[in-house]
Chain A
Amino acid sequence: MLQAHSFLWHYLWLAPHLLQVVLAAMVWRRGLHKLFPIFFAYLVFEAIEEFTLYGLDVIPSVSPEMFWRAFCVGLIIEGFIKLGVIGELFFHLLQPWPVIAKVGSRLITGTGTALVLLATLAAALVVPDNTHWFISGSHILQQTFYIVECGLLVFLLSFAAYFKLAWDNCAFGIALGIGILSCEHLASWAVMANGGLLDRRQLLDFLNMATYHLCVLIWFYYLLIPQKSATKFAVLLPENNLDIWNRELERLLQQ
């Protein structure tokens, strides 16, 4: 069951990307591609990339070197598109609030720079797991991209939580999906890049593909299931209760 080229393997490689094509079409129909153009480009590119790689994998005349070269090129483009998606989410979150947009931009730039340095250091410490540079190189490249993506997403969600910024349902779903994907992929590509589970690599492939499937379903749910009209309570502000505050302050000063 958990072997390469088993039915489950074919299903997990193809099904999420078929769903992704359907999702891209529905995103287009609902006009969401205008709101999230980079995410839309990601959906389309990822589907094309994976169908191409699947074809290269199953066609016997294609050499492993050619497959890995195509894989490398695809992951570089995909990595930059995903960073663009994170930027797009950040823009959506802060666009209505220019008062914190500047500080937010500075913080995410600083965080991104620190993460790139950290990822470069991690890449330098990796002992290549394969004699073919393009195989070990692509593993290291995956690890590098996922360190940056994972860190940026944690920052993005933490920033929103700290300022209690409300997420739009679609943006939240995209962030959640990419967040889960980045964390799981970081763990599995780090294991692969550092030579772990050499004889059971297919298990990591299954884990990666299953996680991707889950994330596509998350995007389906948040982007296409009609959002319940968020219950907006007319929160009435309280009257001043200075006595309580004074008691709290006294208690604090007496500590």
Chain B
Amino acid sequence: MNLAIILVIAAVVALGIILRLAVTQRLQGKSSASLAGTIRPIDLAAFRNLISPSEDDYLRRRLPPAQFRAVRRERLRAMAAYVHVAGRNAAVLVRVGEAAMANGDPRIAEAAHQLVNDALLLRRNTTVALARIYLALAWPNSGFAAVRVVDRYQDVSSTAMLLGRLQNPAVPVRLSSLS
């Protein structure tokens, strides 16, 4: 009977998750208008500096091992914050692109499709990168590069800029400090 109780609890939890996700999904479609304000720009120059292996090598040479590990952990935490925001922005851009895909203008629809594609790839990469960063926090001496995330973020930024220009040629759009 214990097994039945466990399975009943699991089923109730699963039902709760399914209903919650269903409600979120419905509400998501209705709140598209306020999406733009949730994008948080990223300073790519600072991000690149943070993930630069040469910076890490320099710090490793200059600092005693214990201090290096502490600094490296701080840098990894900052890196995680950047990657987290990049992932969040990617999720927002997926929705922005999906909203724009219904546009009658084929150029806008194509740019929107490309934006969703790039944003999904970025979202996937940031998830993997975050996992690796948290792993690296346990072993600060291990090498880790999030270059692919930065590059992908730049790609998404460019696509978003293209879509933004097509939608509203008068407004400049930038999601990072580099373009």
Contacts and interface: CB of A to CB of B under 8 A. Distances in A.
Contacts of A97: 116-117, 120
A195 interface: yes
B12 interface: yes
A191 B36 contact: no
A161 B21 contact: yes
Contacts of A193: 4
A182 B102 CA distance: 33
Given A232-B102, A234-B99, A157 B120 contact: no
Interface in A191-249: 191, 193-196, 230-242, 244-246, 248-249
Contacts of B33: 233, 235
A246 B85 CA distance: 12
Contact of A230 (B7, B29, B46, B167): B29
Contact of A237 (B25, B39, B42, B85): B39
Among B7, B33, B46, B160, residue most surrounded by chain A Cβ atoms (within 10 Å): B7
Contacts of A21: none
Interface residues of A, number: 59
A176 B168 CA distance: 37
Nearest to A147: B7
B100 A232 contact: yes
A191 B9 CA distance: 11
A162 B17 CA distance: 13
Nearest to A125: B3
B8 interface: yes
Nearest to A197: B4
A200 B25 CA distance: 37
Nearest to A245: B41
Interface string B1-34: 1011001101110110111011011001110110
Contact of B171 (A151, A179, A236, A241): A236
Nearest to A118: B10
A104 B59 CA distance: 39
A44 B98 CA distance: 34
Chain A interface, DSSP helix/strand/loop, else mixed: helix
B25 to A, nearest CB: 6
B42 to A, nearest CB: 6
Given A99-B117, A100-B120, A237 B160 contact: yes
B100 A194 contact: no
Interface stretch (B60-68, B88-96, B131-139): B88-96
A235 B3 contact: no
A176 B42 CA distance: 37
Interface in A155-177: 157-158, 160-167, 172, 176
Given A249-B43, A249-B46, 10 more contacts: A150-B10, A157-B17, A176-B18, A183-B11, A234-B100, A234-B103, A236-B167, A237-B96, A239-B172, A242-B41
22 contacts: A99-B120, A99-B124, A153-B14, A157-B25, A158-B21, A161-B24, A163-B94, A164-B28, A166-B95, A176-B22, A179-B15, A191-B4, A194-B7, A196-B1, A230-B102, A231-B32, A237-B167, A239-B171, A239-B172, A246-B43, A249-B78, A249-B82
Interface of B: 1, 3-4, 7-8, 10-12, 14-15, 17-19, 21-22, 24-25, 28-30, 32-33, 35-37, 39-43, 46, 74, 77-78, 81-82, 85, 91-92, 94-96, 98-103, 116-117, 120-121, 123-124, 160-161, 163-164, 167-168, 171-177
